[in-house]
């Protein structure tokens, strides 16, 4: 039996539960179950969110590359996420729908599509399952009933709350975030007189809908809608099991969202739901936290077009992807013009070497083997795996790829001859470079430049066709039009012999 790559290069990852780097041991050998909190689809996804989803894309890509079968679940939050964490304020989707005079599902559709577009632009692969909160109302009601039966939840006036103090008397609320219930009870605001909670640390599982609330479902407690935390407990355990391997999200979700998820799952099943909690760090801008109120929050489109006060020019999605991969997922990453300019150069270097390498092939024969070079090339390929297996360190992986790109340029320039290494070694080196750059890091050739080139080529053909028509050579002009049409490029004749084209 051949050894699997995941046995040869065991993965370690930083578990937020222990705060330590641990060796990853899957529940089912050869399989990885991973859940990541997806977007609340009430506005355009900003760059900080993109970083989180890109990092979990990297993680799932590498597990697959090692030969694991990965089930990656990332949800869409389309109900229940209120404006603040204390179960107060309007539902974010409902509010947007009210302000824009739309149905809530119109809001959801619009921003889900925007989210998918952005993911595609950054080459972030879709998850295996993308469940939505509104698609799992029945399951949420069922688990809330179970929590009430188990004594961890109570109903007041048509709303249901999780009893944190009761839970904490037999279990550990704060196990993930290291918060202490007694301190949470003392800090912050006092309970409002109209607050129905027994204790202010309690959180909503189900909220009663006012007569004007548009998003509502019938339940044993009357018409209402689910709290935010319960959806993730339901959707993660439904598709991955009561206990699963990895749960991820941005660091800001650790408390209260993920802490509440643990309490809900333990309260319902008696089992700890997640073996490894993984959190990605924040994106800062010139050293400051990215936030809408500071005016330093970026939308992907502003970045591509350069239409933002803090940007000197636009950057392609692959440059941004490269930039984000330069830092470890658990570190903060600072966003600035200078950093992006440097990333653009770095990315181009790796991308050029990729193009060169794809054209290089070993002649087959060897003259005299250079054992040092052989060892170096094999060591570099080994290093790629070791770096990524070490807590998905994309930064050191990129450093190794840079070293490999210098070797590639040596081959191209003829400084070293391919006949001094074995064809097998060259094969491993080539597959390693291409595999890690394209499949693991997800860096493809930037389409933008190719698109520009394609447009110029079409312009040339359009001019030729114009000339053919002037010469009354309709056979040739029709051929150009039909051949382009066959490739999905439509030429449209305008007045005065002007021509335009569209590409499918």
The length of the chain, given as a count of residues: 504
Closer of 204 and 401 to Zn ion (Cβ):
204
# of chain residues touching Zn ion (CB under 5 A): 2
List the x/- string, 179-208, binding to Zn ion by CB under 5 A: ------------------------------
* Calpha distance 405→447 (Å, rounded): 21
Q: Provide the minimum distance between the beta carbon of 136 and Zn ion in the complex, in angstroms, as a whole number.
A: 12
Q: In the bound complex, what is the minimum distance in angstroms from residue 232's beta carbon to Zn ion?
A: 3
232 binds Zn ion (CB under 5 A): yes
Q: How far is the CB of 255 from Zn ion (least distance, A)?
A: 12
| Cβ proximity of 334 and 343 under 8 Å | no
Based on CB atoms, which residue is closest to Zn ion, 227 or 346? 227
Identify which of residues 37 and 303 has a Cβ nearer to Zn ion in the complex: 37
Give the 3-state secondary structure of residue 205: strand
Cis peptide before 458 (omega within 30 of 0): no
* Cβ-contact 314, 305 below 8 angstroms: yes
Residue 94: how many CB atoms within 10 A of its CB?
23
The contact mask relative to Zn ion for 281-300 (x = CB under 5 A, - = no) is --------------------
Buried/exposed 234-251: b ≥16 CB within 10 Å, e otherwise: bbbbebbeeebbbbbbbb
> Could you say whether residue 37 binds Zn ion (CB under 5 A)?
yes
For the CB of residue 37, give the shortest distance to Zn ion in the complex, in Å.
3
Mapping DSSP onto H, E and C, the string for 74-124 reads: ECEECCCCEEECCCEEEEHHHHHHHHHCCCHHHHHHHHHHHHHHHHHHCCC
Taking the chain, what is the end-to-end CA distance rounded to the nearest angstrom?
47
- Interacting positions 372-401 with Zn ion (CB under 5 A): none
Which of the stretches 42-50, 181-189, 211-219, 231-239 binds Zn ion when contact is defined by CB under 5 A? 231-239
For Zn ion, which is the closer residue by CB, 205 or 232?
232
| Closest to 108 (Cα-Cα) out of 74, 78, 81, 134 | 78
Cα–Cα dist 247/258, whole Å: 9
Rounded to 5 degrees, what are φ and ψ at 69? -90, 120
- Of 2-10, 37-45, 274-282, 443-451, the segment contacting Zn ion by CB under 5 A is 37-45
Is the Cβ of residue 37 or residue 240 nearer to Zn ion in the bound state?
Answer: 37
What would you report as the CA-atom Rg of the chain, rounded to the nearest whole angstrom?
27
Closest to Zn ion by CB, 66 or 260: 260
* Nearer of residues 15 and 351 to Zn ion, judged by Cβ: 15
Q: How many CB atoms lie within 10 A of CB 313?
A: 10
Q: What's the min distance (Å) between Cβ of 173 and Zn ion?
A: 17
CB closer to Zn ion, 269 vs 296: 269
d(CA 291, CA 455): 38
Given the rule CB under 5 A, which of 105-113, 186-194, 225-233, 490-498 is the region that contacts Zn ion?
Answer: 225-233
The window from 29-37, 152-160, 371-379, 480-488 that contacts Zn ion (CB under 5 A) reads: 29-37
Stretch that binds Zn ion, among 30-38, 137-145, 236-244, 302-310 (CB under 5 A): 30-38
Q: Which residues bind Zn ion (CB under 5 A)?
A: 37, 232
């Amino acid at each position: 039996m051949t050894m699997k790559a995941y046995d040869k290069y065991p993965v370690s990852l930083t578990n937020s539960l222990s705060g330590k780097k641990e060796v990853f041991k899957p529940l089912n050998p050869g399989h990885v179950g991973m859940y990541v909190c997806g977007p609340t689809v009430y506005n355009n996804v900003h760059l900080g969110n993109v970083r989180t989803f890109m990092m979990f894309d990297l993680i799932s890509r590498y597990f697959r590359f090692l030969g694991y079968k990965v089930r990656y679940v990332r949800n869409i939050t389309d109900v229940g996420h209120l404006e603040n964490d204390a179960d107060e304020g309007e539902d974010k989707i409902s509010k947007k729908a009210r302000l824009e005079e739309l149905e809530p599902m119109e809001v959801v559709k619009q921003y889900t599509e925007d989210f998918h577009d952005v993911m595609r632009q950054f080459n972030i692969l879709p998850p295996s399952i993308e469940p939505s909160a509104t698609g799992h109302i029945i399951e949420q009601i069922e688990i809330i009933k179970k929590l009430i039966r188990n004594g961890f939840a109570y109903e007041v006036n048509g709303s249901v709350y999780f009893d944190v103090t009761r839970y904490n008397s037999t279990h550990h609320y704060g196990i993930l975030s290291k918060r202490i219930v007694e301190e949470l009870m003392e800090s912050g605001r006092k309970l409002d007189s109209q607050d129905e909670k027994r204790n202010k640390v309690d959180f909503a599982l189900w909220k009663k809908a006012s007569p004007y609330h548009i998003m509502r479902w019938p339940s044993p407690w009357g018409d209402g809608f689910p709290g935010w935390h319960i959806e993730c407990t339901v959707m993660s355990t439904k598709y991955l099991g009561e206990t699963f391997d990895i749960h991820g999200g941005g660091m800001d979700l650790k408390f209260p969202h993920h802490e509440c998820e643990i309490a809900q799952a333990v309260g319902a099943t008696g089992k700890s739901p997640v073996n490894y909690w993984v959190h990605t760090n924040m994106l800062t801008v010139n050293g400051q936290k990215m936030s809408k109120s500071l005016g330093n929050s970026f939308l992907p489109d502003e970045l591509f077009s350069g239409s933002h006060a803090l940007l000197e020019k636009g950057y392609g999605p692959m440059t941004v992807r490269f930039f984000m991969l330069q830092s470890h997922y658990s570190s903060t990453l600072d966003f600035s013009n200078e950093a992006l300019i440097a990333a653009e150069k770095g990315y181009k270097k790796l991308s050029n070497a990729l193009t060169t390498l794809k054209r290089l092939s070993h002649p087959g024969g060897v003259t005299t083997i250079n054992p040092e070079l052989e060892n170096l090339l094999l060591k570099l390929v080994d290093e790629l795996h070791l770096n990524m297996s070490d807590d998905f360190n994309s930064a050191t992986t990129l450093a190794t790829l840079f070293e490999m790109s210098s070797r590639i340029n040596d081959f191209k320039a003829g400084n070293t001859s391919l006949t001094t290494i074995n064809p097998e070694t060259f094969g491993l080196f080539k597959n390693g470079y291409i595999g890690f750059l394209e499949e693991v890091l997800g860096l493809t050739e930037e389409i933008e430049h190719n698109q520009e080139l394609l447009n110029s080529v079409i312009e040339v053909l359009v001019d030729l066709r114009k000339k053919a028509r002037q010469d009354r050579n309709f056979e040739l002009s029709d051929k150009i039009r039909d051949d382009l049409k066959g490739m999905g490029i439509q030429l449209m004749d305008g007045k005065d012999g002007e021509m335009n084209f569209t590409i499918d």
